[in-house]
Amino acid sequence: MTGRWWSWPSPLALRPAPADLPAVGESGATEDGLRRLGRRYAVLVRTAVLLCASGAALVQAAPDRRTLVAVVVVALAAWSVVYTRFGSGGWLLLVDTAVIMLLGLTQRWTVPPDALGDSTNWVLAVVTITVVAHQWLTSAALGALLTTAIVAAHLTGNVLAAADPPAGSVPLGLWTFAEAGLSRVLYLLVRTGARQADLAVAVNEQARREAAVAAARRAEEREHLAVLHDTAASTLLAVGSGLVDGTEPWLVEQAARDLEILAARPDPDGGDTDLVRLLQQVVRQAPIAVEVCAPPAVPMPAFRATAVSAAVREALTNVVRHAGTNAADLTVRRTGGWTVVEVADRGRGFTPERVPVQRRGLSHSIAQRMTRVGGRAVVTSRPGHGTRVSLEVPDG
């Protein structure tokens, strides 16, 4: 790649280099979904049983009453279609209860006398599945009230159908109450399980959010420490270690720039900026001579360009501290969808594997900074052969 060469003199060129849980009473997504599913299932099962019982009614009916029973069966089927299509709450539930009560009161014309007091009574089957289904559609108090009304209508219909009511009518009616109670218990158990599932999901989500907040705080702390290390700490170290005597004209500008960086808030959505321009500023402030080979401009997202320029500044600072040389090379190129920035020196070099973990300059300010913006850093060095720091970030 053809680049444009430019360099800046070092002010130290003549100086020697140094060595959010569901609240009580509120239902969660699982409970709401299960309640909707249970209601739909109850309505569908009630409709299926009603249709089957209607078939039994036609089989049981005496020849002279088969037409009447057929009319009742067709009317029930039509009502079941309406009931299933438009839901099961509000006034539809009350109308449905009234329809089943009317069915129970008219057993004199729809049920054979010999079937009134036993389980072959098709109306009893409809009554039973209705009170069972109602437990999934109503509160406990309303469910008990509707069950009482339906069973009372059924028993009254038995009495009206025969002068001497069958002995089995009352036990079967009481057993219908028991079936309704068992359905209510099952509904409560299922709802409790769904509520516990919602609670577990809420607890896990809260833990996930807290972990995410903690991770964000740690990342912000690491970023703040890295910026502090790259700016004020580096400048103070240069002054304290004798790299500068405090009279250099660039030192005031460098300190002001450090303060500006520390006060800034990087914006990930801040648009694009020119990486080469940022690198020019870094090289202009560097305490060593830097020879640069770079294209005229390299636009990239501002947060990523800022991270690369900060990493380059740290790499140049490491050259001053550890390389034993007053010069470095900076190369910028694009290859294979990546922008590669390299800082190389011909100093004393080192063995990267032997660098202590606590060395923040290499492990945090450079490598982790690149990782946070989707890039990577590769440090290559050997004792006596200098050091090369390669910073790679995607173009997009």
The domain locations on the chain are 4-17+241-394, 29-205
Q: How many residues does the chain have?
A: 396
What pLDDT is recorded for position 252? 66
Lowest mean pLDDT among 35-49, 200-214, 259-273, 348-362: 259-273
Question: Which neighbouring-strand residues pair with 274?
Answer: 299
Higher pLDDT, 28 or 139: 139
pTM here is 0.50
Mean pLDDT of the chain: 79
pLDDT for 234 equals: 63
What's the DSSP call for residue 296? S
pLDDT for the residue numbered 229 = 62
Confidence of residue 11 (pLDDT cuts 50, 70, 90): very low
Highest mean predicted confidence (pLDDT) among 13-27, 160-174, 296-310, 359-373? 296-310
Q: At 274, which helix (H) or strand (E)?
A: strand 272-274
pLDDT tens digits, 62-113? 888 888 988 988 888 888 888 777 766 678 888 889 998 999 899 888 888 8
pLDDT value at position 247? 64
294 — alpha (psi -120 to 50), left (phi > 0) or beta?
Answer: beta
Output the pLDDT for position 242: 61
Q: Using the 8-state DSSP alphabet, how is residue 82 labeled?
A: H
Superfamily of structural domain 4-17+241-394:
Histidine kinase-like ATPase, C-terminal domain (3.30.565.10)
- Give the model confidence (pLDDT) of 223-260 as tens digits: 666 666 656 666 666 666 665 666 666 666 666 666 65
Question: For 278-334, what is each residue's pLDDT tens digit?
Answer: 898 888 878 788 999 999 999 988 888 888 988 898 888 888 888 888 889 999 999
Q: What pLDDT is stored for residue 115 in this prediction? A: 81
CA-to-CA separations, 12 to 8, 103, 178, 263, in angstroms, rounded: 12, 104, 96, 28
What phi and psi values does residue 4 have, to the nearest 5 degrees?
Answer: -110, 120
- The answer, yes or no, to whether residue 358 has pLDDT greater than 70, is no
The pLDDT of residue 388 is 92
List the single range of 3-17, 256-270, 282-296 with lowest mean pLDDT.
3-17
Of 27 and 79, more confident: 79
